[in-house]
Amino acid sequence: MAANTGFVTIGDAEIEVTRCGTGPALVLLPSEDMREANGAFVEGLARDFEVIIPSPPGFGRSTLPDWMTTVDDIAYVMLSLLDRLEIGNVPVIGASLGGWVAAEMATKEPRRFSRLVLIDPVGVKFAEPSARDIADIWQLSPAKVAALRWHDIEKGKRDTKAMSDNEVAMMVRDQQSLARFCWEPYMHNPKLKHRLDRITAPTLFLWGEHDGIAGIDYGHAYSKLISGAAFETVADAGHYPHLENPGATLNVVRAFLGGASR
């Protein structure tokens, strides 16, 4: 799969943007795992769309200005990026952290989106302040976090010995940026759930059946905050169904996007 990567200047941030495929534009906001660009899910989407994958500030090779501290900040930068790329009325897919960013964007400019696919997004909280409805990935061992994220742990493993020093450094930086944006309040914006009724685009929530980070009950509750949103599950998958079971995820996404493809 041929992909082109470049940078777009948004204010004082340099945003890495990867493009692949041909057809109408589709924006994919990646998860904090940042493996989407080289995966089968994107390869499948690229048969029908020009897939545009921006790395959020602090992730991938995008810069991170000092003033940016919240996911809300990321959402505004991503909206400015769409302005710069002259992209409107576009389908947007967001996964995990990217799903949170997509939801924030869609509350700010509802008419920007033709369809919205949210794959195991975080970003809202339903439990009492002292209770967890999203697993605390910084209080658990790496092995436990992997078991919560992946149905098949082997699919989540990375061979760091085979990675370049730059690739390892980028992976570590992604985790640092995740902590910067999601540490406090943990993995959510307290205001977001009160704004989700502004979303007007047809919306699909997709959830891995074995997601241990944010379970299916959390996903159902999230989906009910957006009028008319559909909810479907993906078998044999955890928190990243588009990475762990891309074929099944693609089938559901293609059916939902329907007339949005060529």
Domains in the chain: boundaries? 3-260
Strand pairing partners for 93? 28, 117
3-state secondary structure (DSSP) of residue 115: strand
| Domain 3-260: CATH class, spelled out | alpha beta
Position 38 scores a pLDDT of 87
Nearest to 90 by CA among 74, 76, 105: 105
Position 1 scores a pLDDT of 65
Per-residue tokens: 165: 């020093």
- For the whole model, what pTM was predicted? 0.96
Mean pLDDT per 10-residue interval, the chain, length 262 residues = 90 97 96 92 96 97 97 98 95 98 98 97 92 94 96 92 92 96 96 97 98 98 98 98 97 85 41
Helices (H), ranges, the chain: 40-45, 71-85, 97-108, 142-149, 153-156, 165-182, 216-223, 241-244, 246-257
Q: How far apart are CA 45 and CA 167, in angstroms?
A: 25
3-state secondary structure (DSSP) of residue 84: helix
Q: How far apart are CA 119 and CA 31, in angstroms?
A: 9
- Determine the residue type at 76: Y
Q: What b-and-e string marks burial along 40-76, b requiring 16 or more CB atoms within 10 Å of the CB?
A: ebbbbbbebbbbbbbbbbbbbebbbeeebeebbbbbb
Largest CA distance in the chain: 48
